Amino acid sequence: MRITVEGVNEGQPVPGPFAFAVPDPKEHMSLSDNRNPKVVWDGVPEGTRSFALLVVDPDAPTDASDVNQDGKTVPADLPRADFYHWVLVDIPAEVRQIDEGEDADGVVPRGKDVGQTAKGIRGANDYTDFLAGDPDMKGVYGGYDGPCPPWNDERLHHYTFTVYALDVTSLGLSGEIRGPQVVEAMQDHILDQASVTGTYTLNPNV
């Protein structure tokens, strides 16, 4: 299989319009266009009955105590964990692309709905947890929401877009579907997969 994420090249920065936030010299960061990039895939194996799409950042801090705190930094050697930015499953077998802005176009306070769409079942990304303590932003964040690493993080973050070709029409998941659930449900059903990884930082010193 092959995947193309328009504007996202292997090992290169994710363009600002596809991010949740962009650097701002006065306020450290400001909200961005938060549009999902166009994703196209081909070279699909015979027997494919559906697809799944995940976007994950493996560089999320495991300790948020110093995140976005003036006078502090998030050290590069702090243990890290996965942060899912896009969870989409049961994509019909005939689908080969998701257009730019089709799943996300702007930051939506309190998030977007999960559930059935024309291009599959939308799960919940990890902003659902990250923003749970913010009274103005808390909610279930369905679909795509782009990069917003801590502006004081010493580590460059990586964002891997992966499309999986599956041998089942449905993973049998519903409700507030989360990334780890999808990874577990796909076990023994992956015929092929393709990925591309972009990078992003809000720290001008990284």
Q: Which domains does the chain have, with CATH numbers?
A: 2-200 (3.90.280.10)
Beta carbons of 81 and 62 less than 8 angstroms apart: yes
Tell me, what amino acid is at 131?
A: L
Please report the pLDDT score of residue 169 as a whole number.
98
pLDDT at 70: 94
Burial class (CB in 10 A: 0-12, 13-18, 19+), 154: middle
Tokens of 80: 């890290």
Q: What is the pTM of this model?
A: 0.97
Residue 21 CB neighbours (<10 A): 21
- Per-residue pLDDT tens, the chain, 206 aa: give them: 999 999 999 999 999 999 999 999 999 999 999 999 999 999 999 999 999 999 999 999 999 999 999 999 999 999 999 999 999 999 999 999 999 999 999 999 999 999 999 999 999 999 999 999 999 999 999 999 999 999 999 999 999 999 999 999 999 999 999 999 999 999 999 999 999 999 999 999 99
Sheet holding 39-42, edge to edge: 2-5, 39-42, 97-98
